[in-house]
Structure 1
Amino acid sequence: MKAQLRPGAREAIFAQLIEAGRAEQVARRLTDAIILGVLTPGERLPSEQELARRFGVALITVREGLVILRDAGLVETRRGRGGGSFVIKADAPHDTLLQARLRGLAQVELSDLAVYFSTIAEGCAERAALRASAAEAERLDAWLLHADFSTTAAARTNAGGFYLELAVLSQSARLVREQIRLQAEFGPLLFLGLGDPDTRALITGLNGRIALAITRGDGQAARTLAADQVRLLGEWLLTMKARIERGGYRDDAIVADA
């Protein structure tokens, strides 16, 4: 059984835009949703009228945003009965592109991005532990139970899903938006470490411990565990960056079992 993101995550994706009127914002919000797995391949998007209502923008703005998504190969629009805009099964981010991006970032910049990501993740985890109801904590446990971390591709998708779940449980719309934005920007790089089976096992174990801390209402433990998790991923990324720069590590070895 595939783990499904809860309704709160979907509501966050379709929340009204802060600055209405820009097609790029519509496209970015929907792109983030596709990257994070909130919108799945083959899924039909809400109608253009419904998207305009939810985002608080003009209908023409939604249409322009969908044009951007079609040009990017993320959605297709079908006419006639049963038509609409549908999510296309997009290829995972090309590993050589990610590796090139890794080469292009200085170690200090990677470290700073990891610190920023950790700060947001820690805050989400702590607030989730302090604000989540018993029922919400149980739903998080159920989500983790069905989430697949057995392969690199599945682990990358579900790692992002887990962080988004924590953001939703924080009950802060701003934290949710920032987590989505940051995952879209840095997640594909940070989650490269999940290609290493040992790192993946450690991250998966920490997921369970974070969920347990949330069930117990232990905000400090949830915060510390989230920090440990991002630290592990960040350290792996910096190690790979250093090895690549020394020429002692093959680029294609970054990804193990996609």
Structure 2
Amino acid sequence: MTGGNVEALWTRTLFAPVPVRNAFEVTIERLVQSIRLGVLVEGDRLPPERDLADRFGVSRVTLREAIRALRDAGLVESRRGRGGGTFVAVPPKERRRSPETIEAAMSQSLEDVLALRKAIEPGAAALAASRTLSAADRSSLLDYLRAAGEADASTRRRADSRLHLAIAALGGSALVTSVVADVQMRLDELLRAIPVIPGNIAHSDQQHAAIVEAILGGQADVARCAMEEHVDGTAALLRGFLT
């Protein structure tokens, strides 16, 4: 894992203790979320079992069962010998669901997801702008912005999510970061179901830059408004293709 202080913040959030109920399922969810959002990327070695079990607050048996499930799904692989361990594998080619299928599955919750995002992400941007950021935090945020702008079609979604997670993490609230991560996961399948539109990507890059500029300038109200505009643009695109 790379990315310094910002990534350390969201890593602590995603690797925080899981609820006692459904510990096995939630452990799988957190690990998959970490991979899908790019906190753990191809080739990264998972932390040692004892460390992960302590972070999640689960038994090593539960953790091993969760990792086995990820291995069966092709998301991780085990390597033996010197330098061995459990590593993030090349992600399996995901089956792309049609917009019609997504619409049928999400028709009752699409508006809920979009409403949740509009309620939480502008506030997260304002919170980040209201804090005094270290030089390392500012540098990391610019790195994530640059990565999102330079990503190709195959990595764009992950880079976009990492930028949004970085913004949330800079606000200093683990709860806010956790909700933003959940929103990004819910958006992921929807956004993968619609076509990539170059004009929208360019517009999104401009909005990202405006958000980051406001955060670095300590302009909380401007950051909130810029994120609202960005969120509304994505919502309009999703509604246009999926409803």
TM-score, structure 1 normalization: 0.83
Q: 1:156 to 1:236 in 2, by over 3 A?
A: same
Whether 1:167 and 2:168 are equivalent positions in the alignment is: yes
1:126-146 CA deviation, whole Å, 9 max, x = no partner? 100112415223431233224
Q: Which amino acid aligns with 1:130?
A: S
User: Quick one: distance in 1 between partners of 2:205 and 2:89?
Assistant: 29
Identity %: 30
Corresponding residue for residue 131 of structure 1: 131
Contact 1:3–1:147 (CA under 8 A) maintained in structure 2: no
Q: 1:193 to 1:131 in 2, by over 3 A?
A: farther
Q: Which amino acid aligns with 1:116?
A: L
Whether 1:79 and 2:80 are equivalent positions in the alignment is: yes
* C-alpha RMSD over aligned residues: 2.4
Whether 1:121 and 2:121 are equivalent positions in the alignment is: yes
1:40-86 CA deviation, whole Å, 9 max, x = no partner? 11111011111112212211111111122112211112233222111
Corresponding residue for residue 110 of structure 1: 110
Q: Which runs of 5+ in 2 are unaligned?
A: none
Deviation at 1:217, TM superposition (A): 1.1
Q: 1:19 to 1:125 in 2, by over 3 A?
A: farther
Q: Which amino acid aligns with 1:111?
A: E
Q: 1:42 to 1:99 in 2, by over 3 A?
A: farther
Whether 1:12 and 2:17 are equivalent positions in the alignment is: no
Matched residue count? 240
Q: 1:121 to 1:46 in 2, by over 3 A?
A: same
Contact 1:137–1:214 (CA under 8 A) maintained in structure 2: no
User: Quick one: distance in 1 between partners of 2:54 and 2:46?
Assistant: 13
Contact 2:128–2:167 (CA under 8 A) maintained in structure 1: yes
Matches within 5 A, 1:1-258: 6-19=7-20, 22-91=23-92, 93-96=94-97, 100-106=101-107, 109-135=109-135, 136-190=137-191, 195-242=196-243
TM-score, structure 2 normalization: 0.88
Corresponding residue for residue 245 of structure 1: none
Match of 2:41, SS?
coil
Q: 1:193 to 1:168 in 2, by over 3 A?
A: farther
Q: 1:190 to 1:152 in 2, by over 3 A?
A: same
Q: 1:191 to 1:219 in 2, by over 3 A?
A: farther
Contact 2:96–2:193 (CA under 8 A) maintained in structure 1: no
Deviation at 1:166, TM superposition (A): 1.0
Runs of 4+ in 1 over 4 A off after TM superposition: 2-5, 191-194
Contact 1:140–1:165 (CA under 8 A) maintained in structure 2: yes
User: Quick one: distance in 2 between partners of 1:179 and 1:44?
Assistant: 25
Q: Which runs of 5+ in 1 are unaligned?
A: 243-258
Deviation at 1:3, TM superposition (A): 7.8
Deviation at 1:118, TM superposition (A): 2.0
Q: 1:115 to 1:140 in 2, by over 3 A?
A: same
Contact 2:125–2:211 (CA under 8 A) maintained in structure 1: yes
Match of 2:154, SS?
helix
Match of 2:86, SS?
strand
Deviation at 1:20, TM superposition (A): 7.2
